[in-house]
Amino acid sequence: MRKIIKPCGLHCIKINHLGVAFGEQEILRDINLHIHCGSLNAVIGRNGAGKSTLIRAVLGDIPHTGNIEFKDRENGRIQKMKIGYVPQSLNVEKQTPVSVYDMIAAYQSRVPVFFMRGKKIRRQIQEHLKIFEADYLIDKQVCNLSGGELQRVLLSMALMDSPNLLLLDEPVSGIDRNGMELFYKTIYELKESYDLAVILISHDLEYVRRYADKVVLLEGTILKQGSVKEVFGSTEFAQVFQKEEEEN
């Protein structure tokens, strides 16, 4: 993978008192997070703990209380934060006539994809796909990609705007163990080589243990956050995942 920028370690993203409610039902309350660039932050928790809601709130897809600050520690200036997002899945069924070019251009360009192919945007897309060795996929149909290929394409797309923060919803299906290993390695290299912070929603504790810099245990609110050791060794962690095992 090509290296573009070394992380400077000077940016940080602060999420202050974030809360989300749908009508009467409170999904998230008082979430406080402090995230540095160049760090891989894993959010773990049971199903329904509000992990995906957290991502949607940070993206501005659903209304939330509290605020999100993006700070440049060098001059303390607050600027607009750019967020890259890698969703867990896409709404594509078999036979959907959407090529990788169509998909990325739809999000990133104004050149109408139903009518023509923009040379400039095509070149840009190809360059970004190359980062993840996925440039040969550009004319393939999105519905025919394997789980791993789709992840690489989505990652390339998320990086096109040079985001400060990368939000990832870890894929739960369609990827085998090798693919998962590769996925985590890629994310790890990414945060090492780019000037960005990563928030990863994870369902696999083993990978979190090996790759995350910081772990956030979520259950409506943050039960525990800190290094892998701190969180995995905590009583809160034991309670949440013991309960889950019992339910299973």
Partner 1 sequence: MEWFSWLHYDFMKYAFLAILIITPLFGLMGTMVVNRKMAFFSDALGHSALTGIAVGVVLGVSNTNVSMAVFAVIFALLLNQISSRVAASTDTVISVFSSFSIAIGLAILSKGGNFSRYSSILVGDILSITPEEIWYLAVIFAITLFFWTLCFNKLLAVSLNRTLARSCHIPAAWMENLFAVLTALIVMVSIKWVGILIINALLILPAAASRNMSANMREYHFFSIVFSVFSGILGLVISYYVNVATGPAIVILASMIYFITYWWGRRYNI
| Residue 81 near partner 1 by CB under 8 A | no
| Residue 21 near partner 1 by CB under 8 A | no
Candidate residues 60, 73, 123, 233; the one interacting with partner 1 per rule CB under 8 A: 60
x/- binding map, residues 222-241, to partner 1, per CB under 8 A? --------------------
Residue 51 or 224: the one with the smaller Cβ distance to partner 1 is 51
Candidate residues 111, 182, 205, 228; the one interacting with partner 1 per rule CB under 8 A: 111
Residue 44 or 103: the one with the smaller Cβ distance to partner 1 is 103
Spatial separation of the C-alpha atoms in residues 61 and 245, rounded to whole Å: 32
| Residue 112 near partner 1 by CB under 8 A | yes
| Residue 70 near partner 1 by CB under 8 A | no
Candidate residues 7, 19, 66, 87; the one interacting with partner 1 per rule CB under 8 A: 87
Spatial separation of the C-alpha atoms in residues 17 and 65, rounded to whole Å: 7
Shortest spacing between CB 87 and partner 1, in angstroms: 5
CB 51 within 8 A of CB 45: yes
Strand partners, 225: 216
| Residue 109 near partner 1 by CB under 8 A | yes
Burial 150-186 (b: 16+ CB within 10 A, else e): bbbbbbbbbbbeebbbbbbbbbeeebeeebbebbbeb
CB 35 within 8 A of CB 199: yes
Shortest spacing between CB 244 and partner 1, in angstroms: 25
Spatial separation of the C-alpha atoms in residues 182 and 171, rounded to whole Å: 12
Shortest spacing between CB 124 and partner 1, in angstroms: 15
Spatial separation of the C-alpha atoms in residues 24 and 21, rounded to whole Å: 7
Residue 4 or 59: the one with the smaller Cβ distance to partner 1 is 59
Structure tokens at 247: 């339910």
| Residue 35 near partner 1 by CB under 8 A | no
Spatial separation of the C-alpha atoms in residues 217 and 201, rounded to whole Å: 10
Q: Tokens 């009518």, residue? A: 115
Spatial separation of the C-alpha atoms in residues 227 and 36, rounded to whole Å: 13
Structure tokens at 201: 């929603």
End-to-end CA distance of the chain: 40
Binding residues for partner 1, total number by CB under 8 A: 39
Candidate residues 2, 74, 77, 116; the one interacting with partner 1 per rule CB under 8 A: 116
Candidate residues 31, 105, 155, 168; the one interacting with partner 1 per rule CB under 8 A: 105
| Residue 173 near partner 1 by CB under 8 A | no
Residues in touch with partner 1 (CB under 8 A): 55-56, 59-61, 83-85, 87, 89-92, 95-99, 101-103, 105-117, 139, 141-142, 161, 167
